[in-house]
Amino acid sequence: MRADRTFGGVNLEVMKVFVTQPVPEPSTSDLLSGFEVVVGRPDAWPEEGRRHLPDSDALVPTPRERVTEELLELAPRLKVVANCAVGTDNVDLEACRRRGIVVTNTPGVLTEATADLTWLLILAVARRFREGDALIRSGTWDGWKPMELMGASLGGKTLGVFGPGRIGTAVARRAEAFGMRVVVCDAADGLGAFERLLAESDVLTIHAPLTPETRGRFGAAELGRMRRGAILVNTARGPIVDEEALAAALASGHLGGAGLDVYEEEPAVHPGLLPLPNVVLLPHLGSATRETRLAMARTACAEAARVLCGEEPRHRVA
Ligand code: GLV
């Protein structure tokens, strides 16, 4: 239903917002109440995009939907892509720039949730959570043993942070509570800093955005230069790590374990990772607390509304 309303002198009557998947409410229901809002289905992209983009003024996608140039070509009215995520690698930013389409993201609101989940993975891998849980469920545990499922202590070890932005910094802050030393390396730092990160980290955690510079940054050679027995954690974007090379480094025993929340070809996971007991795999849950996902949805809807009302958005990336 089209709204019959004006806001700040702007006629909202003909403005349509396509939200690619259901998001926590209240978000669309109050922040986009003056617009026509269409909510898609999780498994229906890009078909629903092709159907709705031709008359949409705003698009609210999630990391699951790739907003390609081919789809943008179908969207002559589109003014804003308000991504419901902090990462914007799912959106062709250059194509948006060329068309004058504003792109926004949701920084800040998911920092702490993602840092918490990163530590969940670090601890789960270091303390062999999966194997312990499986032992109990197997019904074969017969009691305390001095050398059963010994993991790695974290105190006194080195945490390497690749990408010390908001989330990387929040992860590093938590390291103090575990008595870890921290080394950081920005994706733009020189080779020296990157090599030091590889060589010194007992636990290396990735928090850089996916860009042409970070894609494939952790390949077989780089993983080979990490410490024997080190743990790799990735809660940023899957394609930063070569999954096949990671599976090989884990299977050979060179790396001690891995905790992954993101994958090269989501939702697919490299089959070589699945049987390994020292790998903890989560389905892209970094920001998945009720509070955080609601805050992300509200941020994205508010950004879409701002742009449609002719205001400057708060989190513009293009
Ligand atoms: C989730 O992956 C995000 O980028 O917010």
pLDDT in tens, 10-44: 555 579 999 999 999 999 999 999 999 999 999 99
- Kindly tell me if the per-residue pLDDT of 8 is higher than 90: no
The reply to whether 230 falls in a domain is yes
* Span from the CA of 107 to the centroid of ligand 1 (angstroms): 9
Rounded to whole angstroms, how far apart are CA atoms 86 and 106?
5
DSSP state of 58: E
Q: Are 225 and 130 found together in one domain?
A: yes
Q: Are 115 and 62 found together in one domain?
A: no
- List the catalytic residue out of 284, 293, 298, 306: 284
* Span from the CA of 86 to the centroid of ligand 1 (angstroms): 5
pLDDT at position 10: 55
The reply to whether 180 falls in a domain is yes
Q: Rounded to 5 degrees, what are φ and ψ at 80?
A: -150, 140
274-300 pLDDT, tens digit each = 999 999 999 999 999 999 999 999 999
For ligand 1, atom 5, which residue shows the shortest CA distance? 85
Q: Are 118 and 261 found together in one domain?
A: yes
50-71 pLDDT, tens digit each = 999 999 999 999 999 999 999 9
Question: Average pLDDT over the chain, rounded to whole?
Answer: 96
Structural contact between residues 283 and 262, judged by C-beta atoms closer than 8 angstroms: no
Give me the mean pLDDT over the 213-241 stretch.
Answer: 98
The reply to whether 315 falls in a domain is no
For ligand 1, atom 3, which residue shows the shortest CA distance? 85
Query: What separation in angstroms does the CA of 28 have from each of 63, 120, 127, 201?
Result: 18, 31, 41, 43
Share of the chain above pLDDT 90, in %: 96
Q: Are 180 and 256 found together in one domain?
A: yes
Look up 237 and say whether it is catalytic.
Answer: yes
The reply to whether 214 falls in a domain is yes
Non-local (6+) Cβ contacts of 39 within 8 A are: 19, 21, 22, 23, 28
The reply to whether 151 falls in a domain is yes
Rounded to whole angstroms, how far apart are CA atoms 264 and 242?
8
- List the catalytic residue out of 130, 244, 266, 316: 266
> Residue 32: which domain range?
6-109+290-308
pLDDT at position 13: 57
- List the catalytic residue out of 52, 128, 227, 237: 237
- The CATH number given to whatever domain includes residue 103 is 3.40.50.720
Q: Are 34 and 83 found together in one domain?
A: yes
75-97 pLDDT, tens digit each = 999 999 999 999 999 999 999 99
pLDDT at position 14: 78
Look up 70 and say whether it is catalytic.
Answer: no
Q: Rounded to 5 degrees, what are φ and ψ at 14?
A: -105, 15
Q: Are 169 and 88 found together in one domain?
A: no
Q: Are 131 and 238 found together in one domain?
A: yes
The reply to whether 60 falls in a domain is yes
Q: Are 249 and 301 found together in one domain?
A: no
For ligand 1, atom 1, which residue shows the shortest CA distance? 85
Q: Are 272 and 294 found together in one domain?
A: no
* Span from the CA of 85 to the centroid of ligand 1 (angstroms): 4
Best of 167, 285, 287 for a ligand 1 pocket test (most atoms within 8 Å of beta carbon)? 287
pLDDT at position 2: 43
Q: Are 21 and 116 found together in one domain?
A: no
* Span from the CA of 39 to the centroid of ligand 1 (angstroms): 20
* Span from the CA of 210 to the centroid of ligand 1 (angstroms): 11
- 3-state DSSP assignment of residue 224: helix
The reply to whether 313 falls in a domain is no
- 3-state DSSP assignment of residue 52: helix
Closest ligand 1 atom to 87 CA: 4
Q: Are 123 and 261 found together in one domain?
A: yes
Q: Are 254 and 131 found together in one domain?
A: yes
Q: Which protein residues touch ligand 1 with a CB less than 6 Å away?
A: 63, 85-87, 110, 286-287
Rounded to whole angstroms, how far apart are CA atoms 217 and 20?
31
Share of the chain above pLDDT 70, in %: 96
Number of folded domains that form the chain: 2
The reply to whether 91 falls in a domain is yes
